[in-house]
Amino acid sequence: MLGRPRPVRPETSAPIDSIQGLFSVTIHKATNIITKSPTEKNEPYCRINLIDNNSKPLVKWITKRERGTLNPTWEETFTSHVQSPIPLLLDITCYSGSTSTPMDELIGRQRIQIGSSFKFGVLLSEDLKLPGKAELRAKIHFTVNYKSDKTDKPSVKGRPTSHWVTPKK
């Protein structure tokens, strides 16, 4: 029987002014990476930092290394409980490790501000920026989600109910 699809994330009636709950980042893949090393020696990976408005890192994550590719697919989700006022800064920095060099090569960086108008649960494809390189075609594909600890409904059997939060447009 076909019916109306159930919403994945119900809208909240109030804009958010702080993050208090489960914050997750899924790093899907990177595309069109350009490095100095030959392809078979590349081991791309990402470092992900969530930074508060005082430039203090709240959480730090790192993906696994993908060997021998310039289009790595990670599909890794990182989740942490976060309690902080917004705005927050999500810093994703990609590197390529190599067995032939002792230092990892910086591929690029993307910084995203998480504010009251940020859309959670949307697949983002952002350019990886490298200082001094105007045209860089590498992209990082990721999704950011947030599940609030705050309740706007009565608790069920003594447990608070939480919901997915989408900021007001």
Into how many domains does the chain fold?
A: 1
Task: Say if 120 falls within a structural domain.
Answer: yes
Task: Say if 107 falls within a structural domain.
Answer: yes
Predicted confidence band of residue 135 (pLDDT cuts 50, 70, 90): low
Q: Give the whole-number percent of the chain exceeding pLDDT 70.
A: 72
Predicted confidence band of residue 149 (pLDDT cuts 50, 70, 90): confident
Q: What is the pLDDT of residues 53-64, one digit of tens each?
A: 899 999 999 999
Task: Say if 74 falls within a structural domain.
Answer: yes
How many residues are there in the chain? 169
Task: Say if 2 falls within a structural domain.
Answer: no
Task: Say if 163 falls within a structural domain.
Answer: no
CATH at residue 106: 2.60.40.150
d(CA 109, CA 95): 9
Task: Say if 33 falls within a structural domain.
Answer: yes
Mean pLDDT of the chain: 80
d(CA 20, CA 162): 11
Task: Say if 96 falls within a structural domain.
Answer: yes
State the residue for tokens 């599940």: 147
Task: Say if 113 falls within a structural domain.
Answer: yes
Q: What is the pLDDT of residues 95-123, one digit of tens each?
A: 988 766 778 888 899 999 999 888 999 99
Three-state DSSP state, 31: strand
Give the domain range for residue 28.
Answer: 19-148
